[in-house]
Amino acid sequence: MNNCIRYTLLLFSLLISHNGIKAQGTNTDDWILAKANEHLAASHATGLSIGYIVDGEIKMVTLGYTDQEQTDTIDTETIYEIGSISKTIVGLLLQQAIADGKMDMQSDFRAYYPAGHSLSDDVPEITIQDLATHHSSLPRLPGNIWNKKGFKMTNPYAMYDSLDVYSFMEKYYAKNPKKEYAYSNFGAGLLGHLIGLQYDQSVESLLHKYVFGPLDMTHSSINNVATLDDWSIAKGHDAKGNPTPNWDFKVLAPAGGIKCSISDMMQYAQAYTRSAQKSNPLYSKVLVPQREIEGTRSIATFWQLAKYKGINIIHHSGMTGGYASTMMMHPEKDIVIVALTNTADSIEPLVISVLTKLIKE
């Protein structure tokens, strides 16, 4: 079946039967549903989930199927890889570590680096703040990931472990010693690893203790998909619609390894609303700007702050080999939006259009 026919049939099935939307009936909700249908039909994804919070009310739309065979429909508990939005959740662990007196934003990361592992003399001073704001001088990916035995471009992080981190840092030469803004998955993964060392616990256990558990996120994990066999998982697709394997992670999981459902993501999103932040200040602390970027943009604890057509937004997106995600907030109107899909194709345009619509209401 060619793509045109397949997506026409998929669109028809979605229009006559959508699942997962709450409190439907207003013109705005109808518009969002139609917009989501339009995005899915034009993409190479088989499924899409979007949730939004306005005036404290959570609404969710789930569309499509978990795979090309249309085996199972997407529902609110279907799991997606959320990619780099994981960094914002690990940012909460950092703020928790600061509150617990285990780390300090202005301290050099050497204070938390494991004893017995040396560093290259070329490693500059790198503070915890540098790691949390992508100002560390560290590369996007470590140079020794490519020649790691068993490396596959379709699953790039699977073999990279803590010993590889230490080996890389022993030989590191800073190509950007001025520490200008430079997005670094390696830096974020290193920070998550260091946080775990301060508690002598795995990042997974810390996430459940401080984020997933308190927010009742029962379908969220940083563990690899193969360990989640009792969960419904949307199968990933590349930007051309070809099925792709899930990404596995070891030490760099904090940079992009969390798997989550839209229901759980909306629990996470709700924690950022004004009323929720009053009861848990960690969610306001991670949004405090730490560094300016190019004048009109700034970065908090991994969260990006910017203006879009005069609108203040706080946002982060993620992408793995088979998934894309975006979470966006408009603090003035207390609006939060999350979108997840199972293809490696940006979902930001859909989120921006929904945000713009909701702000105008």
DSSP bridge pairs for 80: 260
pLDDT of residue 6: 32
Q: What is the pTM of this model?
A: 0.91
Q: Which residues contact 184 (CB under 8 A, 6 or more apart)?
A: 131, 134, 136, 138, 139, 140
Q: Let me know: does 20 contact 265? Beta carbons within 8 Å.
A: no
What does pLDDT average to over the chain?
91
Tell me which residue of 354, 355, 338 sits closest to 80, measured CA to CA. 338
pLDDT of residue 177: 65
Beta strand extents in the chain (DSSP E only): 47-54, 57-64, 79-81, 220-221, 259-261, 291-293, 297-299, 304-308, 311-319, 324-330, 335-341
Give the residues of the chain that fall short of pLDDT 70. Answer: 1-25, 176-179
Q: Record the tokens describing residue 211, joined without a space.
A: 């984020």
Query: How do residues 296-346 score in pLDDT, each as one tens digit?
Result: 799 999 999 999 888 999 999 999 999 999 999 999 999 999 999 999 999
Q: Record the tokens describing residue 230, joined without a space.
A: 């009792």
- Cα–Cα distance, 254 to 349 (Å, whole number): 26
pLDDT of residue 25: 41
Q: Set out the domains of the chain in order of their start, with CATH numbers.
A: 45-350 (3.40.710.10)
CB atoms within 10 A of CB 163: 11
